[in-house]
Amino acid sequence: MRCAILGGAGFLGRHIGRAMASEGAEVWSVDRSLSAAGSAPWLAGEVQADCFDLPSWWDVVGGADVIVHLASSTVPATASEDPIQDVQTNLVGTLRLLQELRKKAVRPRLLFASSGGAVYGRPQYVPLCEAHPTMPMGAYGATKLAIEHHLRIEEAQHGLPCRILRLSNPYGEWQQPHGVQGVIAVFAHRALNAQPLDVWGDGSVVRDFVYAADVGYAFAAAARHEGETRIFNIGGGAGHSVNDIVHTLEQLLGHAVERRVFPARPFDPPVNVLDIQRAQNELFWKPTMAFEDGVAKSVEWLRTVA
């Protein structure tokens, strides 16, 4: 099985590539950037290209049986700042990909990384199962959801098989600590550098964190999946509060960490956790990394790049 990972040089792309290669796939990265030399020995090759421009990479890779679609030009904050740009690049870009794929005699399977934190909107109950209403509260989630719909429609009308993985918050090695996403990497990096951690409210807000290598195995399972189901939640299986993260870091570092406390943000739902029963039942997948061990992996990796 040949697999092209769109966004394969990034944090999540590396984990997914490694997981799929470990299960025997020939894995290519397609990304605007190349991996640092020698840093991704599991790859069969890399193409530096615009992921959404299929003709620029398809023949170089030699075609693909599976496309893992992680390509995104935005994060929630930048999508809200410029929703038109978000639609133009990510939604229209994906539609351009689909249009090119219609021309292929044999259609690859497309695995799409959607966002379990963004497409559902404010939880009506937790844990959120896949049948929960989808009422995104930001442009980022609206675009992820629109892409999901177009993928389902493309399969029904043009036979391109798809699987949609709604991820909670991935964390682990290779997650950059300087971004606006990834609280575990940000906190771990700041704690390692004796900088205070910014906490909104009392730190009781609970989120779903999933170790990125576990996400990689979920994609590998989705590549093999034979059933009728198309949408799967992929999460850590339990929630962790902001205070849990801080305590875990304090235990790993062996000392207290300073916090800077800001007022609670009223738009933050108090709890957001995904129900992953469907993925367990149908993909035969579940996360295997304990939270404390996963955070330790993040800290170890950040020490090597500090």
Q: Is 115 in the site for a copy of itself (CB under 8 A)?
A: no
Give the footprint of a copy of itself on residues 148-207 (CB under 8 A). 149-150, 152-153, 156-157
**Dist CA 214 CA 236 (whole Å):** 9
**Dist CA 168 CA 161 (whole Å):** 23
Q: Is 278 in the site for a copy of itself (CB under 8 A)?
A: no
Radius of gyration of the chain measured on its C-alpha atoms: 19
Answer whether 109's CB lies under 8 Å from 171's CB. Answer: no
Least distance to a copy of itself, CB of residue 140, Å: 10
Q: Is 264 in the site for a copy of itself (CB under 8 A)?
A: no
Least distance to a copy of itself, CB of residue 136, Å: 5
Chain centroid to CA 197: how far?
24
What is the x/- site pattern for a copy of itself, positions 120-159, by CB under 8 A? -----------x-xxxxxxx-xxx-xx--xx-xx--xx--
Report the residue number, 146 or 206, with the smaller CB distance to a copy of itself: 146
**Dist CA 146 CA 142 (whole Å):** 6
Report the residue number, 62 or 133, with the smaller CB distance to a copy of itself: 133
Backbone φ and ψ for 151, nearest 5 degrees, come out as -70, -45
Report the residue number, 124 or 251, with the smaller CB distance to a copy of itself: 124
Q: Is 96 in the site for a copy of itself (CB under 8 A)?
A: yes
Q: Give the strands of the sheet with 45-48, arranged side by side.
A: 45-48, 26-31, 2-6, 66-69, 109-115, 162-167, 231-234
**Dist CA 249 CA 184 (whole Å):** 9
Least distance to a copy of itself, CB of residue 86, Å: 9
Least distance to a copy of itself, CB of residue 100, Å: 12
Give the interface with a copy of itself as residue ranges (CB under 8 A). 80, 83-84, 87-88, 91-92, 95-96, 99, 131, 133-139, 141-143, 145-146, 149-150, 152-153, 156-157
